[in-house]
Amino acid sequence: MEKTRQALATCASVLDGVENETLTTSSALLQCLRVARLLNDFDSITWLQYEYGGYPLDKNGRVSSQGWDIACENGRGYAKDGKEYIFLELASELEASIKGGQSAIDNFSTQGTSVSGEYAPLAMRTLTDSVAISTRELLNRIATSEKKLSVLKSKYYDYALRKHIEISFGDTVADVFTSYREVVDSYFAKLSPETIDKLKAIEGKITSNNPEQYSQALTTCRRLFESIANELFNKHLPGYHEKKYKTKSGKEVDISGDCYKNRLTVVMETLQNKSISNSIIGSSIVYTLDWIDNLHDLQCKGVHVSITKQNAMQCIIHTYICLGDILSLQVD
């Protein structure tokens, strides 16, 4: 968390410095590299290291294939005479070139120069033309360097802005989810010990580095849906032992055996009728059921195919939110 806060402050420093023109492009680059390091953004670390130390060359003195692709992706590519090129000057080199060129222009002058003799007018005209040509060449060189530098500056600024938004949004989501979790945890605390044990089992599996454990975590999520469906059904429809249930629409659904999703449908319809709160789930049961179906499909995949840790974590988070919303429909 401390590294994230440091990264956020560094991003803000880059944005303010570029916008206020108080930060050189080469300094912005170094601060962006610090952000990438603090966030373990390895792809960006590679790119920014190339930007700082130069793009790698192969044994033939050409930019490596990886370096070429990264350079093109980050604004260094350009077309000329039907061919693709990249410019390799570093930000610090471009800054030095611009500064040196501007200093040279300041020193170009014909003031104080005196010539005499028969060819004085010709000599003076030649000197003036020479100064004008040299000045024009320097101005063109400066303009080209400034254009390249502005490309690099915009890339560093965009990176800092993107990371600033990501971190800021992530902090906002974390605060919201913390508040939401406090409420949902109070609902889960009222469930049976058997159901709570399934919640604990998920945590143990997702912290593992064994892919097989991720599939088991998804299976446990599915069983958690089933367990809560059964528990809420027995709580809110006690004594109902029929295999079919007629919904408000008049449709009969099978609530026997493994049809836990149908039992959840019945439970939500019942809770919706009793709930005194204006719940999102209470007003959009169809959406919630589609959500559960998607979760179920993903969970079933966990039984048959390899699931990544990210897949498992995503499913667990959605399971938590979905069940929390269903439990929130209960009247205290």
Which pLDDT belongs to residue 112? 44
pLDDT of residue 69: 94
- The answer to whether residues 272 and 318 belong to one domain is yes
Pair (161, 214) in one structural domain: no
Question: What separation in angstroms does the CA of 117 have from each of 68, 111, 280?
Answer: 59, 19, 96
Could you tell me the two tokens for 73?
């992706």
Residue 215 placed within a domain:
yes
Pairing between strand 77-80 and 83-86?
Answer: antiparallel
- pLDDT of 160 higher than 90: yes
- On whether both 164 and 211 belong to a single domain, the answer is no
240 and 272 fall within a common domain:
yes
In this structure, the answer to whether residues 209 and 151 fall within a common structural domain is no
Would residue 8 count as lying in a domain? Answer: yes
Is 166 among the domain residues?
yes
Which of 23-27, 94-98, 248-252, 279-283 is the least confident region? 279-283
Over residues 50-73, the mean pLDDT reads 92
Residue span of the structural domain in which 210 resides: 191-328
One domain for residues 104 and 154: yes
- Per-residue pLDDT at 313 exceeds 90: no
H-type helices in the chain, by residue range? 2-19, 25-38, 42-53, 65-73, 91-107, 120-188, 193-206, 211-236, 260-274, 280-283, 285-304, 309-328
Q: Looking at the structure, tell me whether residues 97 and 235 fall in a common domain.
A: no
Could you tell me which residues come within 8 angstroms of residue 14 by beta carbon, excluding any fewer than 6 positions away? Answer: 23, 28, 31, 32, 35, 156, 157, 160
Structurally, how many domains does the chain consist of? 2
Q: Report if residue 268 sits inside a domain.
A: yes
Whether 162 and 200 share a structural domain: no
Does 237 or 70 have the greater pLDDT score? 70
Tell me the average pLDDT of the chain. Answer: 80
| Same-domain check for residues 152 and 239 | no
Which of 318, 276, 278, 274 has the alpha carbon at shortest distance from 294? 318
**Is there a domain that residue 180 lies in?**
no
What amino acid is encoded at 20 in this protein? N
Top-ranked range on mean pLDDT: pick from 128-132, 281-285, 312-316: 312-316
Report the pLDDT value the prediction gives residue 21, as an integer from 0 to 100. Answer: 93
Torsion angle defined by CA atoms of residues 138, 141, 143 and 144, in that order, rounded to the nearest 10 degrees: 180
157 and 218, same domain (yes or no): no
Domain match, 96 and 231 both:
no
155 has a pLDDT exceeding 90: yes
Same-domain check for residues 100 and 241 = no
3-state secondary structure of 89: coil
The three-state secondary structure class of 90 is coil
Residue 25 in domain = yes
pLDDT greater than 80 at residue 311: no
Whether the per-residue pLDDT at 185 is higher than 50: the answer is yes
The length of the chain is: 332
Instruction: Give pLDDT, residue 288.
Output: 58
> pLDDT value at position 115?
46
- Six-digit token pair at 293? 């179906």
In-domain check, residue 161? yes
| Residue 138 forms part of a structural domain | no
